[in-house]
Chain A
């Protein structure tokens, strides 16, 4: 039996940041947008990708310097989960806590 539990506030922050960027975000941009430290952000991204809520793709383009990095986008499953959470007012309570 798999355990289901309420997503953490950090998870919800990541999901809401990604929902506002249809083209996806790379880790550093996500870190800036969510205000989370890399040590908190990346393990959560790993777990969300594992659950199929996020899709990871390598960044492409000619202007990119350095090694390729991951771009994270919400999958339809992730969007549905996010919708469920916002229907349950979880996101609003997180936003209120963040604003305080």
Chain B
């Protein structure tokens, strides 16, 4: 068991940059001096857990975790939309709902794959929805039926959601030191 833990520590040490792994070699050299097999095992086990945590932080990164959570949250929202979609009775609302869901899904997919692309996509959507909101507010459409007003409200709401996604993507990119470098 002790040799297994030592091997895991050695493996973790090799995965980390020198500056972040120095403490692991110090811990390994100390392990030989711990009195008692059980105490030695506990000493190594605690070190292994810390080393694996460090490897996760360095290799995967907090930014990647945030990016995955954001993407999954948006895709779950879309999946929920698909579930409640059939129960919408108003045809106009239903149509708008189904039009906007793939756009959200695309944003969620991009969040998982590429934050920069997601930022550009959400910015484009905000621009397009804002333009639609402005055009639909022109006097030409004043005599039209209620759906124009509904579409305006819907565009505004979608633009709001896209803005939140844009801010989230920008923050995650800013939080990633590699992307900033």
Q: CA–CA, A46 to B49, complex, Å?
A: 16
Do A39 and B26 form a contact, CB below 8 Å, given A46-B20, A66-B33, A67-B32?
A: no
Flag whether B23 is at the interface (Cβ < 8 A): yes
Q: CA–CA, A43 to B55, complex, Å?
A: 12
Q: Which one, A37, A45, A50, A69, contacts B19 given CB within 8 A?
A: A50
Instruction: Decide if the interface of chain A is mainly helix, strand, loop or mixed.
Output: helix
Q: CA–CA, A42 to B34, complex, Å?
A: 15
Instruction: Please state if B33 and A39 are interface contacts (CB–CB under 8 Å).
Output: no
Flag whether B108 is at the interface (Cβ < 8 A): no
Q: How many residues of B contact A (CB 8 A)?
A: 21
Flag whether A49 is at the interface (Cβ < 8 A): yes
Instruction: Decide if the interface of chain B is mainly helix, strand, loop or mixed.
Output: helix
Q: CA–CA, A32 to B23, complex, Å?
A: 18
Do A42 and B23 form a contact, CB below 8 Å, given A28-B34, A37-B46?
A: yes
Instruction: Please state if A26 and B30 are interface contacts (CB–CB under 8 Å).
Output: yes
Kindly state the interface size class of chain A when it binds its partner.
Answer: 20 to 34
Q: CA–CA, A55 to B106, complex, Å?
A: 52
Flag whether B92 is at the interface (Cβ < 8 A): no
Q: Which one, B20, B22, B43, contacts A38 given CB within 8 A?
A: B43
Query: Which residues of chain B are within 8 angstroms of A39 by Cβ–Cβ distance?
Result: 46-51
Instruction: Please state if A27 and B19 are interface contacts (CB–CB under 8 Å).
Output: no
Q: 1/0 per position for B26-43, CB-CB distance to A under 8 A?
A: 110110111000000001
Q: CA–CA, A45 to B32, complex, Å?
A: 18
Most buried by A among B20, B27, B51: B27
Most buried by A among B27, B30, B44: B30
25 chain-A/chain-B pairs, Cβ below 8 angstroms = A26-B33, A28-B33, A28-B34, A38-B30, A38-B43, A38-B47, A39-B47, A39-B48, A39-B49, A39-B51, A42-B23, A42-B26, A42-B27, A42-B47, A43-B23, A43-B54, A45-B23, A49-B22, A50-B19, A56-B26, A67-B32, A69-B26, A69-B32, A69-B33, A70-B26
